[in-house]
Amino acid sequence: DLFPPCVAALVDRAREGESLPDRSLFSLVAFLLSTGMDGDDVAAFLDAGEGGLAPETLEERVTYLADRNGSQYPPPSCATMQAYGDCVDRDERCETVSHPLSYCEGAVGDAEAVADWRERERA
């Protein structure tokens, strides 16, 4: 729920078994690796081999993009996602960020603020 709409749409497409264009697969895998997932996490998250992406396709992409600290290539900016045609279902937060990772950081910060507020109210 904290992913930007463009990434959420790519996740859905991948899980449905759609053959994503190389640029879209790059964007998706680079984003997931940038959030701290490793290759096994990405495969499990995308349900690789269970109606989703072919495991060998995903393994090849993860191997290319990953280094020991996550992704050696950052995911594309919002402008690039728009140029790719992958910028979909824009929401209010999209209007305030220029990168999908910034969207995610803001959403996580908002979620933590809500959680903190609820904890304060219970005390």
Buried b / exposed e across 49-62, counting CB within 10 Å, b at 16+?
eeebbeeeebbebb
Whole-model pTM?
Answer: 0.81
Residues sharing a CB contact under 8 Å with residue 8, sequence separation 6 or more, in sequence order: 89
Q: Between 107 and 56, whose confidence is greater?
A: 107
Q: For residue 115, what pLDDT is reported?
A: 58
Q: What is the pLDDT of residues 24-81, one digit of tens each?
A: 999 999 999 888 888 888 888 887 655 667 777 778 888 778 766 656 788 999 999 9
Mean pLDDT of 103-123: 69
Q: For residue 13, what pLDDT is reported?
A: 92
Residues sharing a CB contact under 8 Å with residue 52, sequence separation 6 or more, in sequence order: 14, 15, 16, 17, 46
Give the pLDDT band (50/70/90) at residue 114. low
For residue 61, give the H/E element and its range.
Answer: helix 55-65
Q: For residue 68, what pLDDT is reported?
A: 66
Q: List, in sequence order, every residue forming a beta bridge with 67; answer none if it has no partner.
A: 70
Q: For residue 71, what pLDDT is reported?
A: 61
Q: For residue 117, what pLDDT is reported?
A: 47
Q: What is the pLDDT of residues 69-95, one digit of tens each?
A: 656 788 999 999 999 999 999 999 999
Q: For residue 5, what pLDDT is reported?
A: 97
- Contact at 8 Å (CB) between 3 and 15? no
